[in-house]
């Protein structure tokens, strides 16, 4: 690969297909950037795993993406950000990372009722990152949290609007509606793919915050400040990698992104990713 920094790709990873919601926003804002996307589907869901385990996976995936010349790493997973972002920044001090944190700040600034719902995985709620966001920004609001058990797996199966997916969301959202929420924060990158059902359940009066566009703006700022924006005359390429089943991943792409793509199978060995 050409070592000229202006054609180097952005590396993005998630436990599965959730980070595609972030990839979509990045490609909308930065269409000429090339992207490497890693879905660690053999280990999905991350949400019930230990912080240590998620750190091990995140470090190996970061090394894999850096070996392919990624110029910046987007941890497109709230769970991996909660467990490993600090660790990754310490382990790779010369690399720029962009991570996810639940968008409690804009929710708290704009809520009229003072009651905000947050949907995220158990690991995200348990992490220090969430505690710090709550402490810094949620002083005057009531946060209602739900882990939407099973929703990540439904989205991994491509079930975006079946009855089981709807039931999971109704059980999370109806009690929140009864308590007066006017804002929902999506604290898991899989969840933007079910925004249409969420909006149907909560109604148009409730604002649903997808953090992906803000993450794409942060990527743009970082590339600008380091003068690393691509300057090629064509659209960037996207390369997909999955540690799960290639055909399953490829079947999901049209459903989630509205386009086809090919993925490469990646194997985990005892000492990390085998390349
Ligand atoms: N997309 C993920 C997140 O943002 C991962 C969910 C999971 O693997 O449990 O949290």
Name the phi and psi angles at 239, rounded to 5.
Answer: -115, 130
Are residues 267 and 198 both part of a single domain? no
Are residues 25 and 38 both part of a single domain? yes
Contact (CB, 8 A) for 19 and 156: no
- At a CB cut-off of 8 Å and minimum separation 6, what does 178 contact? none
Are residues 146 and 11 both part of a single domain? no
Taking each helix axis from N to C end, the angle separating 78-91 and 128-137, rounded to the nearest 10 degrees, works out to 100
CATH number at residue 193: 3.40.50.1860
Cis amide prior to 45 (ω within 30 degrees): yes
**What is the number of structural domains in the chain?**
2
Are residues 87 and 134 both part of a single domain? no
Are residues 62 and 117 both part of a single domain? no
Hey, which residues are catalytic here? 77, 188
Q: Give the closest residue to 87 by CA, choosing from 36, 118, 53.
A: 53
SS3 74: strand
Are residues 60 and 183 both part of a single domain? no
Distance (Å, whole) CA 153 – CA 44: 8
Atom of ligand 1 nearest to the CA of 124: 10
Are residues 54 and 150 both part of a single domain? no
SS3 208: strand
Q: How far is the CA of 160 from the centre of ligand 1 (A)?
A: 16
Are residues 165 and 132 both part of a single domain? yes
In angstroms, the first-to-last Cα distance of the chain is 16
CB of 152 shorter than 6 A to ligand 1 = yes
Domain span at 178: 104-210
Atom of ligand 1 nearest to the CA of 187: 4
Name the phi and psi angles at 48, rounded to 5.
Answer: -105, 10
Using the 3D structure, point to which of 210, 228, 256 is the last residue of a domain.
Answer: 210
Are residues 171 and 152 both part of a single domain? yes
Name the phi and psi angles at 182, rounded to 5.
Answer: -125, 5
Using the 3D structure, point to which of 210, 236, 254 is the last residue of a domain.
Answer: 210
- This prediction has a pTM of 0.96
Residue 137: count of CB within 10 angstroms of its CB: 18
Are residues 224 and 259 both part of a single domain? yes
Return the DSSP state at 8.
Answer: P
Q: Which helix (H) or strand (E) element contains residue 267?
A: strand 267-269
- At a CB cut-off of 8 Å and minimum separation 6, what does 227 contact? none
Distance (Å, whole) CA 231 – CA 233: 7
Using the 3D structure, point to which of 210, 240, 260 is the last residue of a domain.
Answer: 210
CB of 266 shorter than 6 A to ligand 1 = no
Are residues 124 and 190 both part of a single domain? yes
Distance (Å, whole) CA 150 – CA 262: 27
Cα 214–Cα 215–Cα 216 angle in degrees, nearest 5: 90
Helices and strands (H and E) in the chain: how many: 11, 12
Are residues 55 and 128 both part of a single domain? no
Check residue 48 and give its pLDDT. Answer: 87
Per-residue pLDDT of the chain (275 residues; tens, 9 = 90+): 445 446 899 999 999 999 999 999 999 999 999 999 999 999 999 998 999 999 999 999 999 999 999 999 999 999 999 999 999 999 999 999 999 999 999 999 999 999 999 999 999 999 999 999 999 999 999 999 999 999 999 999 999 999 999 999 999 999 999 999 999 999 999 999 999 999 999 999 999 999 999 999 999 999 999 999 998 888 999 999 999 999 999 999 999 999 999 999 999 988 888 86
Atom of ligand 1 nearest to the CA of 100: 4
Q: How far is the CA of 26 from the centre of ligand 1 (A)?
A: 18
Contact (CB, 8 A) for 189 and 14: yes
């Amino acid at each position: 690969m050409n070592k000229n920094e202006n054609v180097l790709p952005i590396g993005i990873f998630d436990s599965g297909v959730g980070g595609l919601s972030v990839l979509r926003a990045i490609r909308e804002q930065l269409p000429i950037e090339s992207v490497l996307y890693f879905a660690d589907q053999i280990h999905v869901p991350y949400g019930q795993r230990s912080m240590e385990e998620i750190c091990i996976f995140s470090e190996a995936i970061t090394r894999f993406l850096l070996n392919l010349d990624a110029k910046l790493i987007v941890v497109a997973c709230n769970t991996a950000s909660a467990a490993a972002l600090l660790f990754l920044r310490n382990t790779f001090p010369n690399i720029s990372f962009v991570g996810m944190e639940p968008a409690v700040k804009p929710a708290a600034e704009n809520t009229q009722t003072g009651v905000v719902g947050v949907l995220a995985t158990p690991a995200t709620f348990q992490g220090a990152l969430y505690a710090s966001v709550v402490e810094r920004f949620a002083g005057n609001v009531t946060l209602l949290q739900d882990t939407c058990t099973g929703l990540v797996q439904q989205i991994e199966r491509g079930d975006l609007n079946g009855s089981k997916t709807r039931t999971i969301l109704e059980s999370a959202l109806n009690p929140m509606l009864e308590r007066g929420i006017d804002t929902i924060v999506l604290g898991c990158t899989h969840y933007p793919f079910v925004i249409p059902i969420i909006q149907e359940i909560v109604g148009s009066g409730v604002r649903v915050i997808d953090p992906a566009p803000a993450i794409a703006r942060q990527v743009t700022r970082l590339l600008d400040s380091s003068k690393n924006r691509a300057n090629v005359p064509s659209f960037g390429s996207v390369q997909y990698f999955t540690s799960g089943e290639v055909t399953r991943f490829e079947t999901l792409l049209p459903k989630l992104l509205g386009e086809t793509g090919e993925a490469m199978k990646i194997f985990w060995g005892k000492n990390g990713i085998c390349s």
